[in-house]
Structure 1
Amino acid sequence: MTQEDRPEGMRATVQETYGPADLSAVPVFAGGFINFGYWRPEDLDGPPTVEDRIRTQQDLYRRVLDTSGPLSGARVLEVGCGLGLGCALALEEYGPDLVTGMDIHPQQLDRARRANAGLLEGAGAGRLRLVRGAAERMPFEDAEFDCVYSVEAAQHFDDLGLFAAETARVLRPGGRTAVTSFFAPDPGAAPRLAELLDTFADGLDIARPPAELTDALVRSGMADVRCESIGPSVWPGWDHWLSAQWKPGTWPRNFLYAWEQGLLDYYVITAVRPR
């Protein structure tokens, strides 16, 4: 991808990670959902299988979609859809009329079209669409969606204020948003996170407190804004899975350490657009 092809706001690290490097093909993200997973206590009892890993990634989507209210017959948007596998899960299990997957990276969208060819071209054609766009500049009409959700993508967004404003704009009155990702509870944690974790050092992930998003949602006119930590269901399981592939002391194992030190946590943030 040339500089001219790169959408405005897509940093070089995002371009590389989700383009030529293809994070979805990395073994730790088996199944292609590209998230840390939502783990049950029993998942930590023995060596996790690939099937376990895929289910935990699906369960993180379910954790978010379950907070979004009834979705049967709804028009739903996923921001940062990656390969679109979460979109397919939403269609299969939650019964919306239409799911739109939006991603800033054209190579990810190409992979998503291949991964979901059956949905895009088969009997269910018309229920899934894949659109290129940025979280801060969504290419949609006002009040177009009943639900906007995002799974482990907000740590990449350049401007959470613009994302919140766009989310409020494209939601219909009464519509809901649910965002899950990792944030830094301590606003001063960025330098330490950069020391511990390569993804913060190279700028792929941005260290911001969850209040940066919750406050932005309030400023954008959203109501019933809530923020819940789900760290105990993410970090121990993620490290348990990593332990089969990464030795202690290697940088990916520092995610658990950062959580234990209060430098990082995982949240579900929800809000409603008032009627």
Structure 2
Amino acid sequence: MTQCSDAAKDPIPPEVREAYGPADLGSKPLFGGGFINFGYWQGIDLDRPLTGHDRISSQRALYRHVLGTLAPTGGLRALEAGCGLGAGAALAIEEYGFAHVTGMDIHPQQLERAGRANTGLLARRPERLRFVRGAAEDMPFGEGGFDCLYSIEAAQHFRDLDAFAHQTARVLRPGGRAVIAGFFVPGTDPAAAGRLAELLDTFADGLDVAHTVPSLVGGLERAGLADVRVTSIGASVWPGWDRWLAGMWEPSTWPRNFLRAFHEGTLDYYTVTARRPEA
């Protein structure tokens, strides 16, 4: 595991440091199973009481949906930007046949947890998995070292999407592919950021950034990536997420406003795919 102790070279936004430092979010019922994402709920019956198994299944399904866009993946080298606890990196190896997955995260405590959670896989197949500390805007890798890059529900914490896009293009080999999944403002309405701050505490306190999907697309294209495609998957994310939250939060509380923001058209969930052109 590679760690950088010089915070000046690897700054963590204070909101991110606090959210992912003292508490292990992946151990809480809100998430569970070592994943930290809202889930992909297609195929899960939302009209019955949801179980912890449903919640973990939804999070695994989000990884499967995203990684499926990169297929065929057998024998490839992949980078996960914002790997969290490493559960998704392990799934990528076990189910998608990647030759090697590098899980990168900016938070050292997350990486420590990822190492502990994946002790068995790291011991059995050290040539297939590693965890490295690094920022999405300044990745500590050489040019063209990866066949694929994926990032799942992390981009809302990135402070500079253009820098992330540039780094993505740099670390991909010619012909390499990228997929970013996360929640973004659908359009360019300047009032959207303020509205999200009104509805959702994570936007109000700065943990989440109200990036627009056009800004991500533009950044990828300016970085030289091609075939940039955007797909909304909000209908398979937000209703299930809200149904799960209903067992813990009242309708008037702020976490329930993710679905409201989706219905208002202020926020949606997307997969965005791109390719580095052949040399």
Name the TM-score, length of structure 1 as normaliser.
0.96
Letter in 1 for 2:148: C
**Which residue among 176, 191, 208 is the counterpart of 1:205?**
208
In structure 2, list runs of 5 or more residues that go unmatched: none
- TM-score, normalised to structure 2, is 0.95
RMSD, aligned α-carbons: 1.3
Partners in 1 of 2:142 and 2:18 — Cα distance? 30
Structure 2 match to 1:260: 263
Query: Following TM superposition, by how much is the alpha carbon of 1:44 offset from its aligned partner in structure 2, in angstroms?
Result: 0.7
Deviation at 1:24, TM superposition (A): 2.0
Mapped to 2, the partners of 1:7 and 1:265 lie a distance apart of 33
Percent identity, aligned pairs only, is 61
The Cα of 1:27 is off from its aligned counterpart by 1.6
1:195 to 2:186 alignment: no
Which stretch has the larger CA shift, 186-195 or 126-135? 186-195
Show the counterpart of 1:60.
62
Contact 1:104 1:134 survives alignment (8 Å):
yes
Asked if the contact 1:7–1:104 (Cα under 8 Å) also holds between the matched residues in 2, the reply is no
Q: Judge conservation of contact 1:69–1:176 (CA < 8 Å) in 2.
A: no
In 1, the alpha carbon distance for the partners of 2:61 and 2:222 equals 31
1:8 to partner: Cα distance:
3.4
Question: Residue 155 of structure 2 aligns to which amino acid in structure 1?
Answer: A
Match of 1:149 in 2: 150
Aligned equivalent of 2:132? 131
User: Contact (CA 8 Å) 2:187, 2:213: kept in 1 or not?
Assistant: no
Between the two proteins, the alignment pairs up a number of residues equal to 272
What residue in structure 1 maps to residue 272 of structure 2?
269
Give the Cα separation in 2 of the matches to 1:193 and 1:7.
31
Partner of 1:51: 53
Residues of 2 paired with 1:116 and 1:40: CA distance? 28
Q: Which moved more, 1:238-247 or 1:19-28?
A: 19-28
- The amino acid across from 1:134 in the alignment is A
SS of match in other structure, 2:216: helix
CA distance in 2, matches of 1:268, 1:74: 20
Q: 2:113 is aligned with what amino acid?
A: R
String of CA shifts for 1:129-181, please: whole Å, max 9, x gaps. 00000000001110000000000000000100000000000001111000000
Name 2:230's counterpart in structure 1.
227
User: The residue matched to 1:270 in structure 2 has which SS?
Assistant: strand
Q: Against the structure 1 CA distance between its residues 88 and 42, is the aligned structure 2 distance closer, same or farther, given a 3 Å change threshold? A: closer
